[in-house]
């Protein structure tokens, strides 16, 4: 009897994690999105800090296509407290329509979180990415810097959505 209850609970948790919304209400993911152009290395210029990236500098994300159509995600950063590089490998998949930048990413088995590109330049050099809540935000660049006009544009977008832009941490990329 206990095993059946645990199995049922696991099914409910997996179902809820797969069906919940991955983007804050009222926010649109970028479209038309070209996943092929998004692949490659990105430098994390800014983020709202959270436990898995605390203390990390020189953070990057690298995306490549897996044979099954999912995206391999390799996040790296230098841990200033431990004086060593940290790396996390996960996978991402498009959440619904192929030309909308609404993705789900997982670093922990069957549990996925929202990863949503909401603004990107036409050359795919700069991107504003948010999670499924106002607790997650990243500003990414193909280079370890970002022009001031792009920075200000992304801060305006984040502020309009409801992000506390004072919480944004600007990452040391040296």
Q: What's the pLDDT tens digit per position in 32-73? A: 999 999 999 999 999 999 888 999 999 999 999 999 989 999
> DSSP secondary-structure letter at 11?
H
41, 106, 121, 136: CA torsion to nearest 10: -110
**Structural domain boundaries enclosing 57:** 2-170
pTM, entire model = 0.86
pLDDT band at 8 (very low <50, low <70, confident <90, very high): very low
Specify the pLDDT at position 17: 44
35: domain CATH number is 2.40.128.20
Q: Report the share of the chain in percent with pLDDT over 70.
A: 87
39, 125, 142, 110: CA torsion to nearest 10: -40
Number of domains in the chain: 1
């Amino acid at each position: 009897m206990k095993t059946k209850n645990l199995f049922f609970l696991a099914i409910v948790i997996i179902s809820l994690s797969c069906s919940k919304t991955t983007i804050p209400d009222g926010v649109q993911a970028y479209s038309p999105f070209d996943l092929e152009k998004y692949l490659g290395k990105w430098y994390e210029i800014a983020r709202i800090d959270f436990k898995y990236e605390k203390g990390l500098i020189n953070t990057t994300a690298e995306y490549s296509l897996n044979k099954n159509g999912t995206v391999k995600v390799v996040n790296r950063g230098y841990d200033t407290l431990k004086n060593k590089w940290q790396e996390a490998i996960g996978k991402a998949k498009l959440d619904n329509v192929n030309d909308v930048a609404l993705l789900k990413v997982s670093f922990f088995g069957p549990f996925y979180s929202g990863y949503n590109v909401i603004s990107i330049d036409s050359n795919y050099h700069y991107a504003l990415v948010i999670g499924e809540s106002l607790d997650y935000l990243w500003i990414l660049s193909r280079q370890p810097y970002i022009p001031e006009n792009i920075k200000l544009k992304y801060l305006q977008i984040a502020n309009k959505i409801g992000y506390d832009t004072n919480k944004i941490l600007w990452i040391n990329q040296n």
